[in-house]
Structure 1
Amino acid sequence: MVNNSFRKFLDSYLHVWRTSSLTDMKNIISKDYKAREILGGELVDFGYEESMTGWEQGFNFAKEKENKWDLIEISIVPLREGEVMAILSATLVIGGKKLENVSIFFQTFKKQENDEWKLIRSYIETGIPYENVKKIEFN
């Protein structure tokens, strides 16, 4: 069971993403962040700085074209005390049309000593057909 603290945080995190707020995103991601992405069939590992560059590019593209983020919460998995994984799909809606492919994010968040949640790890699969995500039974 996910506690109210995480639920409130996740709703805020999704709002930050939907509004493409780079300043707020910088405060959510841990400086020790580690990620792995499958991009075009290739495995890419990266950390905080590369992540910020990626978020900045994505957010700028969304804002410039007045596109919208389509985010779907697939599942929330409590991993251990103070650590929760959120499985999300994300794509852009451009000119009112969803892209045919989505990215699926397996994101691990950890509660810090000050009771703030931080994104500490991600595994990202890109280029997944949107139709495949629609088939998933949501919790």
Structure 2
Amino acid sequence: MENSFRQFLHTYLEVWRTSSLIELKDLISKEYQAREITGGEIVDFGYEESIKGWEEGFNFVKDNRAQWDLNEISILSLNEDEAMAILSATLIVQGKNLETANLFFQTFKKSGDNDWKLVRSYIEAGISNIDRMQTN
């Protein structure tokens, strides 16, 4: 699992960094479920809402010539065909990191055809920039 998941995660993060919605759609399960917490408010959503959110984010990045600052915090093997990646994401706009970041707990599952797909996410959005937390 380790090697195939690592290769998949590398691809997934590269697709995210390049804001490629077409490629990202293939990496997310149609049964995807997520929960996002922003300012204490909880929102649950699925695949279609997720794609709309990614599209808005990717358009913002392209329109503002911004860059994604993605950091791998931890990888956990949940079982033989599931892994969780804990990631932080923020944007660099005009050479400066935003003061907030999102923390993603993303669960990936290997399907019957040996392809990994994002199946679940728990997202803490708008937290103080994670870089400060990583140094402590």
Say yes or no: TM over 0.5.
yes
Q: Residues 94-124 of structure 1: CA distance to partner in whole angstroms, max 9, x if unpaired?
A: 0000000100000000001111100000000
State the Cα distance separating 1:133 from its structure 2 match: 4.1
Matches of 2:9 and 2:56 in 1, distance apart? 22
RMSD: 1.4
Matches of 2:19 and 2:64 in 1, distance apart? 12
Task: Give the letter aligned to residue 124 of structure 2.
Answer: E
State the Cα distance separating 1:135 from its structure 2 match: 2.7
What is the correspondence of 1:1-139 to structure 2 with a 5 Å cutoff?
A: 3-130=2-129, 132-136=130-134
Matched positions, count: 136
Matches of 1:120 and 1:38 in 2, distance apart? 18
State the Cα distance separating 1:3 from its structure 2 match: 1.1
Matches of 2:101 and 2:81 in 1, distance apart? 29
Task: Give the letter aligned to residue 79 of structure 2.
Answer: R
| 3-state SS in 2 of match to 1:135 | helix
What is the identity percentage for the equivalent residue pairs of Structure 1 and Structure 2? 61
Structure 1 runs not aligned, ≥5 long = none
Matches of 2:81 and 2:87 in 1, distance apart? 19
Task: Give the letter aligned to residue 97 of structure 2.
Answer: K
| 3-state SS in 2 of match to 1:114 | coil
State the Cα distance separating 1:128 from its structure 2 match: 1.2
| 3-state SS in 1 of match to 2:26 | helix
Matches of 2:132 and 2:73 in 1, distance apart? 10
Matches of 1:133 and 1:83 in 2, distance apart? 27
Instruction: Give the TM-score normalised by the residue count of structure 1.
Output: 0.94
| 3-state SS in 2 of match to 1:115 | coil
Matches of 1:35 and 1:26 in 2, distance apart? 15
Structure 2 runs not aligned, ≥5 long = none
